[in-house]
């Protein structure tokens, strides 16, 4: 069994250290008040058994808490007092400088929690370490100076999660939809250099990747771009290539028929599209932004977003090439094709591509093949999204959705000065999310002790706590000058404001959203009703909880003119943090706190046996009640030889749920060449990745890709998330 030290590093569990610590406290009290040697050993043994029951690595603090409890359980209150006093003195010493040890452990790469905090950050490389070091300083300032004490305490105790506190000290927002169309069509500025409208598709792709990198370096969340904004440049290149071909024919004295020229032009155009798409694919994968990871970017593929039939056909060419290249993958350091984490792809299912006789069915077949091999694209149903939101548009990053704007009814018009603004039409590109605070629903349930009246009372208290925490995020952004991130606020990515102008007007009237996240609906309902929320007797309570949070968001929005929206949080490291906090506060409760993770948002528990179609049908009602963002998934085996089944799931998504994905496995062992699934096994109380063919357990010598929580992770995960991944059951 491993133990997590205060600086984040791992050591083996040593029962003798507990015996020594208790003995030391024991010797400071008078003889009649002391514990016997047998009692001290019994305390140490009980603590060891308690830690083993956690099914994860305990922290030093958790071990010491249990030691205190056991000393007092033996009636040795004077011994307990001396033990507690010693802990308190040591904590004061540590508190005199809260960041040194963590930063040093980051530099020496011995901080296990930091290593596993983000499944797409390599903590060994200098750029990531620099970002983490800055993050520790920012987090320290945030907790000591910038946030109210009760919000900090609630965050530390796991009642809520104040997301990305390591970026809060700076005036940075969360995620956005990049207005790539405005930047390409009307020009932009990158690091002081004017970038004019590109004169070819390949140049447009190159500029797009530079914009992606710049945007990623000036925010902390995901971004999305649409391939539709690149489509007009296909015809720009077509006309350019045609002139070149005609000149070549003229120079050699040949007069081919127009059809032959068109064939040659389209052949060369296809090659340029291939190069342009390859630029986006490889640039995104190989770029490292200032936060030490590849840009978290989503690429949106929506045929019906095109303005005319020619543009739609050209968009189809780009989508086809994007899917072909993603299906192929990228080569790892051994030269083997593997699955990259980014860019995330979203493919819209619509009338033109959903049936065998529709004109773009071939793209849907290619998307199914790509999903079976590389886990992307994910799927948005135009039909369901139009029903639920009135428009079809992409999320920001992996799942955060904007609400339709209120610009017309509010009479505010083009407040961002976008060059492509269309009066009377909803605007999505150029808008953003201010930040997220997540509510731990499981803690509310457990704190109520199962009493329904007390549950709603505590719910109200926690909602107001989240409300105040979200307003802290909003207030932190107020007063931000456009000069803080010119690519975002001055040169078109989000707005074209004047130098020295604040972004304040973009924080109201529905231009941006701010998100109330939630986690653990399954465990909350299970504790309060004794049943899974999939049980017809428990589902109404689950829906009532969802509606209660939506009602709070509507109330806050009416009071402030800020667009609060309910968001199904994609827990990564937080799922482990919440689980540890719950165990500390309430102990091990079978079926509720007995795992190293809690369930993401409204999802069906990963261990629950349920059919893929029933899962999607059931979760669709909760997705509708998460207007600020949510995504559902089905866990499937290797489907590369069963694409018909993939297509059936895709058709079901089109008819039943707005946004969903299929989770497959995509692994490779660099030691023996195994390209099947890498196993997760338990060794000395710790979950490790294990090649079933050669036994390799060196994470640096294997490529593992798993859907983490709406996006693909490739840098491995904390113990809680790893346990969740191991326990997932197949739905198909």
Residues with active-site annotation: 174-175, 396, 398, 400, 433, 567, 572, 710
Exposure of 342 in the CB half-sphere (CA atoms within 13 A): 27
Beta carbons of 645 and 732 less than 8 angstroms apart? yes
Cross-strand pairs, 666: 705
Beta carbons of 226 and 428 less than 8 angstroms apart? no
Report which DSSP code applies to 641. Answer: T
Q: Which of 448, 443, 402, 442 is nearest to 426 (CA)?
A: 402
How far from each other are the two terminal CA atoms of the chain, in whole angstroms? 35
Exposure of 106 in the CB half-sphere (CA atoms within 13 A): 23
In whole angstroms, give the CA distance from residue 285 to residue 289: 11
Helices (H), 287-360: 309-328
In whole angstroms, give the CA distance from residue 613 to residue 587: 36
Regarding beta strands 512-519 and 432-440, do their DSSP bridges make them parallel or antiparallel, or are they unpaired? Answer: parallel
Cross-strand pairs, 558: none
In whole angstroms, give the CA distance from residue 476 to residue 26: 49
Q: Return the exposure string of 95-126: e unless at least 16 CB atoms fall within 10 Å of the residue's CB, then b.
A: eeeeeebbbebbeeebbbbbbbbbbbbbbeee
In whole angstroms, give the CA distance from residue 8 to residue 115: 9
Q: Return the exposure string of 345-380: e unless at least 16 CB atoms fall within 10 Å of the residue's CB, then b.
A: bbbbbbebbbeeeeebeebbbbbbbbbbbbbbbbbb
Whole-Å CA distances, 48 to 58, 292, 504: 10, 38, 54
Q: Which of 208, 219, 214 is nearest to 192 (CA)?
A: 214
* Three-state secondary structure call for residue 333: coil
Q: What are phi and psi of 422, to 5 degrees?
A: -120, 110
In whole angstroms, give the CA distance from residue 295 to residue 223: 8
* Three-state secondary structure call for residue 705: strand
Q: Which residues are CB-neighbours of 426 under 8 A, at least 6 positions away?
A: 390, 391, 404, 405, 407
Report which DSSP code applies to 167. Answer: G
Beta carbons of 319 and 228 less than 8 angstroms apart? no
* Three-state secondary structure call for residue 97: coil
Q: Which residues are CB-neighbours of 360 under 8 A, at least 6 positions away?
A: 303, 316, 352, 353
In whole angstroms, give the CA distance from residue 669 to residue 695: 10
């Amino acid at each position: 069994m491993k133990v997590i030290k205060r600086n984040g590093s791992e050591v083996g569990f040593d029962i003798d250290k507990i015996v020594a610590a208790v003995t030391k406290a024991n010797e400071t009290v008078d003889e009649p008040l002391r514990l016997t040697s047998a009692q001290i050993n019994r305390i140490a043994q009980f603590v060891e058994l308690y830690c083993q029951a956690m099914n994860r690595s305990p922290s030093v603090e958790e071990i010491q808490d249990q030691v205190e409890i056991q000393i007092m359980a033996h009636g040795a209150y004077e011994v307990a007092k001396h033990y507690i006093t010693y802990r308190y003195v040591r904590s004061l010493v540590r508190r005199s400088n809260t960041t040194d040890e963590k930063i040093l452990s980051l530099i020496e790469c011995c901080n296990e929690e930091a290593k596993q905090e983000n499944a797409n950050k390599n903590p060994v490389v200098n750029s990531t370490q620099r970002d983490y070091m800055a993050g520790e300083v920012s987090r320290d300032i945030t907790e000591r100076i910038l946030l109210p004490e009760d919000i900090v305490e609630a965050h530390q105790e796991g009642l809520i999660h104040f997301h990305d506190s390591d970026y809060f000290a700076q005036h940075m927002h969360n995620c956005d939809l990049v207005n790539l169309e405005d930047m390409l069509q009307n020009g932009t500025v990158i690091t002081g250099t004017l970038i004019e409208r590109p004169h070819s598709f390949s140049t447009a792709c190159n500029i797009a990747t530079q914009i992606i990198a710049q945007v990623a370096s000036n925010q902390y969340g995901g971004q999305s771009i649409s391939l539709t904004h690149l489509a007009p440049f296909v015809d720009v290149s077509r006309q350019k290539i045609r002139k070149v071909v005609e000149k070549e024919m003229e120079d050699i004295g040949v007069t081919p028929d127009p059809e032959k020229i068109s064939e040659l032009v389209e052949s060369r155009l296809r090659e340029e599209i291939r190069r342009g798409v390859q630029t986006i694919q490889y640039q995104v994968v190989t770029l490292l932004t200032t936060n030490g990871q590849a840009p978290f970017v989503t690429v949106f593929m929506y045929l019906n977003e095109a303005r005319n039939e020619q543009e739609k056909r050209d968009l189809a060419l780009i989508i086809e090439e994007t899917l072909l290249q993603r299906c192929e993958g990228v080569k790892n350091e051994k030269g083997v094709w593997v699955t990259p984490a980014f860019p995330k792809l979203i493919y819209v299912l619509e009338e033109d591509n959903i049936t065998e006789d529709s004109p773009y069915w071939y793209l849907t077949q290619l998307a199914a093949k790509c999903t079976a091999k590389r886990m992307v694209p994910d799927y948005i149903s135009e039909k369901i999204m139009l029903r639920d939101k009135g428009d079809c548009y992409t999320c920001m990053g992996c799942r955060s959705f904007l609400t339709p704007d209120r610009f017309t009814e509010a009479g505010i018009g083009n407040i961002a000065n976008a060059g492509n603004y269309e009066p009377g039409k909803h605007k999505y590109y150029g808008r953003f999310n201010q930040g997220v605070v997540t509510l731990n629903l499981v803690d509310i349930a457990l704190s109520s002790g199962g009493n329904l009246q007390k549950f709603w009372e505590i719910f109200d208290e926690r909602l107001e706590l989240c409300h105040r925490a979200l307003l802290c995020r909003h207030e932190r952004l107020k007063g931000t000058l456009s000069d803080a991130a010119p690519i975002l606020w001055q040169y078109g990515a989000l707005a074209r404001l004047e130098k020295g102008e604040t972004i304040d007007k973009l924080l109201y009237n529905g231009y941006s959203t701010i998100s109330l996240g939630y986690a653990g609906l399954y465990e909350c309902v299970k504790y309060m009703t004794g049943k899974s929320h999939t049980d017809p007797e428990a589902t109404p309570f689950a829906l009532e909880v969802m509606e209660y949070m939506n009602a709070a968001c509507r109330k806050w929005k009416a009071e402030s003119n800020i667009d609060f929206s309910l968001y199904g949080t994609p827990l990564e490291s937080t799922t482990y943090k919440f689980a540890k906090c719950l165990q500390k506060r309430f102990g091990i409760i079978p079926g509720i706190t007995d795992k190293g993770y809690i369930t993401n948002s409204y999802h069906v528990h990963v261990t629950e046996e349920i059919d893929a179609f029933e899962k999607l049908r059931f979760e669709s009602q909760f997705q509708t009640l998460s207007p600020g963002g949510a995504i559902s998934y089905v866990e499937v085996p290797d489907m590369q030889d069963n694409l018909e089944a993939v297509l059936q799931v895709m058709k079901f998504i089109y008819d039943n749920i707005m946004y969903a994905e299929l989770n497959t496995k995509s692994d490779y062992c660099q030691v023996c060449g195994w390209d099947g699934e890498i196993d997760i096994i338990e060794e000395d109380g710790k979950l490790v990745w294990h090649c079933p063919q050669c036994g390799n357990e060196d994470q640096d010598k294997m490529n593992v890709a798993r859907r983490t929580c709406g996006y693909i992770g490739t840098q491995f995960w904390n113990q809680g998330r790893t346990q969740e991944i191991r326990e997932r059951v197949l739905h198909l």
